[in-house]
Amino acid sequence: MTEKLSNAQIAWRAAQDIEDEAYVNLGIGFPEMVAKFQPPGRQAIFHTENGILNFGESPAAGEEDWDLINAGKKAVTLKPGAAFFNHADSFAMVRGGHLDVAILGAYEVAENGDLANWSTGPKGIPAVGGAMDLVHGAKRVAVITDHVTKDGRPKLVKHCTLPLTGLACVTRVYTSLAVIDIEGGRFVLREKLPGLSLEQLQAVTGAELVIAGTVADLVAPEVS
């Protein structure tokens, strides 16, 4: 099985489900790509933990203002009406339930919605960070990830084995092979690559995939 979506295509697919004017926090790294793919006629209001609301796309190379960065230390621009605030106020927004969506990466997602997206291993980060607040403060938590690890092990599992970011917090997972909802403690398959059989997908998924209704084709344009 060689066909799969690129990271950009996964990010594009996740962006299609963000409502117009939703307040959205994107995790550091891969999830930041989601901001590039807002559907025509829709525009989210992006929040960053270090204290900006309604920031815009990255500036052109050489035009960065390094006083304007997101939580991942990447330069951003500002949209009309953008606001600045301190770190404590930013997390009050998160913890107070004022974000509609948080989109994060993952090492593991369990069938009950548990999320592990940090690690204390040799190449891990030293602490869970703001993700712990995001997964329980945002109204909806989605994950974007490759379906398997670099050595081919499932990232969607029955039980997480790594340190948890949050319990039963993820509601939808966008992977390189499928779109999967978490409902009633089960992985419910909504979309899959058209050239991939259910048996092939199940073979690289570490818990049972449940079929509830029609499974749509997962199709994404060529984006980068």
What positions carry a catalytic annotation? 49
Spatial separation of the C-alpha atoms in residues 182 and 141, rounded to whole Å = 11
Q: Which two tokens stand for residue 145?
A: 């990830």
Strand order in the sheet with 115-116: 115-116, 108-110, 156-157
Q: What are the C-alpha distances in Å from 223 to residues 5, 9, 51?
A: 10, 6, 30
Spatial separation of the C-alpha atoms in residues 6 and 146, rounded to whole Å = 9
34: DSSP letter? G
Spatial separation of the C-alpha atoms in residues 149 and 79, rounded to whole Å = 37
